[in-house]
Structure 1
Amino acid sequence: MDATERQAALDRLNVLVGEWVVEAEFDGLEVPPGRSVFEWSLDGQFLVQRAQAPNPAPDAMTIIAVDPETGGYTQHYYDSRGVVRLYAMTFDDGVWQLLREKPDFSPLHFRQRYVGHLSADGDTIRGAWETAADETAPYEQDFVLTYRRRR
């Protein structure tokens, strides 16, 4: 991956920059909205996300980097429970995907993915986190997670 391709990959993430209201839908629970802010760091080489979430979700911070081997992204995830995870990430054609299917900083007790779809106006991302018990089990919805840009 050359510098031009790397910059193009970073530029695709500009749509995420800003402040978002985050709405989580857990079965049987009323959860107030949370807040998420995406901003560039270290001369625009990394996209940092800080999220404040009501219970049962933890507060979190992520750092998104371009993967020079694949042209995709790696999301480094940290949360207020002390959980650290590494996700393979793509953001193409308005579809944001996060995928964790192998052990990283913690054992892999289940596979996990998020698939979100960006609205035509760029102000809403609606998606869901899904989990699978093992590599042969199908994914099942864990909870819906929607981002709405705060103006």
Structure 2
Amino acid sequence: MDATARQEALRRLDVLVGEWVVEAEFAGGEAAAVGRSVFEWTLDGQFLVQRTKAPDPAPDSTAIVSVDLGTGAYTQHYFDARGVVRTYAMTFDGEVWRLLRERADFSPLHFQQRFTGRIEDDGDTVRGAWELAKLGSREWERDFGLTYRRSR
């Protein structure tokens, strides 16, 4: 991957930069829990950092998105208030944001996880959901919905 392609991969993430209200929709029809998330560039724009004050019962977290110099693939490095550390394979085409964890890394893998979010036409809303699957299974179940609404 050349420097121009890497910069383009990083530039695609610009749509996420800013402050967001985060609404989590858990099972049981409860009212949406509300938190906040901030996306910002760090280290001369080489990494995108996401800091989240999560809605209960989810933990607060920090995630760092990097671009692989060789392949152009994104990786999200995730850390949370429980001490959990994970890496997610990430794709982002400017409209659809996907995270996937199918193997153990810094934390044991008790289940597979994936997130799919779609940026709406206004560019200020991302609607998505986290899903879980038993190890080795391809049958995904919804864990919770997650909606980001840009506040700034």
After TM superposition, is the score higher than 0.5?
Answer: yes
Deviations 1:5-62 (A, max 9, x none): 0000000000000000000000123343100000000000000000001320100000
1:89 and 2:90 correspond: yes
Deviations 1:121-151 (A, max 9, x none): 2100000000001122411100000000003
Percent identical pairs in the alignment equals: 68
Report the counterpart of residue 42 of structure 2 in structure 1: 41
Give distance in 2, aligned partners of 1:97 and 1:77: 14
Matching of residues 45-84 of structure 1 within 5 Å: 45-84=46-85
Ranges of 4+ aligned residues in structure 1 off by more than 6 Å? none
Q: How many residue pairs were aligned?
A: 151
Unaligned runs of 5+ in 2: none
Report the counterpart of residue 10 of structure 2 in structure 1: 10
SS in 2 for 1:64: strand
CA contact (8 A) 1:115 1:128 kept: yes
Shift in Å at residue 67 of structure 1? 1.7
TM-score by length of 1: 0.96
Report the counterpart of residue 103 of structure 2 in structure 1: 102
Shift in Å at residue 70 of structure 1? 2.6
Which AA in structure 1 matches 2:74? Y
SS in 1 for 2:71: coil
CA RMSD of aligned residues (A): 1.1
Unaligned runs of 5+ in 1: none
